[in-house]
Amino acid sequence: MYYFKMTEPSATTIDIWIKLSRSYQAILSFIEASLKQAELPPLSWYDVLLELDRVASTAIRPFELQEKLLLPQYSLSRLLNKIEKAGYLQRLPCNEDGRGQRVVITREGKTMRKRMWAVYGAALEQAVGSKVAREDREKLLGLLKLY
C-alpha cells in the first residue's frame, strides 16, 4: 500500500495547477485548430509519424510505439488503422513472431509529417514562444522541471 503525507495544497499551489492546466489545454486547442484550418490530420497523427520517422529505416512493433506514445493499445490500433488507410504508414510482417507486425513510415508519411510540422511548429511558437520574453524562457523552462 502506498502512503503519503496528507496535506492540503496551498492556494498558490492550486492556482499554479489551474494555470498550467488551462495553459496546456489552450495551447493544445490552438495547435489542433491550426492543423484543422490547414486541412491537416490531428496532432495525434503527428506524434505517430514523428516516432516512425525517428526509426525510419527500421520498422517498430506497435507495442514499442505504444510505450513511446503512452497510449492505450485500443486507441493506438485505431489510430494506426486510420494512418495506414491514408497511406502514411505500412505494416510489415515480423520475422521474429509470425503473428506480429512491424510498422514503418511511408514516403508520403514523411512528407505529411513535414507539412504538419510547418503548421504545428508555427502554432507552437505563436501559442507559447510569443507569450514568453526571450530572457524569461530559460528561467521558465527551469521552473517547469518538476518531474
Q: How far apart are CA 71 and CA 67, in angstroms?
A: 7
Report d(CA 30, CA 8) in Å as an integer.
33
Quote the DSSP letter at residue 129.
Answer: G
Any idea what the Cα angle at residue 31 is, between residues 28 and 37, rounded to 5°?
A: 140
> What is 16-142's CATH topology?
Arc Repressor Mutant, subunit A (1.10.10)
Longest CA pairwise span in the chain (Å): 56
pLDDT tens series, the chain, 147 aa: 566 778 899 999 999 999 999 999 999 999 999 999 999 999 999 999 999 999 877 888 888 888 888 778 888 999 999 999 999 999 998 877 767 889 999 999 999 999 999 999 999 999 999 999 989 999 999 988 876
Evaluate if pTM is beyond 0.95: no
**Among 127, 116, 129, which Cα is nearest to 25's?**
127
**Domain boundaries of the chain, sorted by first residue:** 16-142
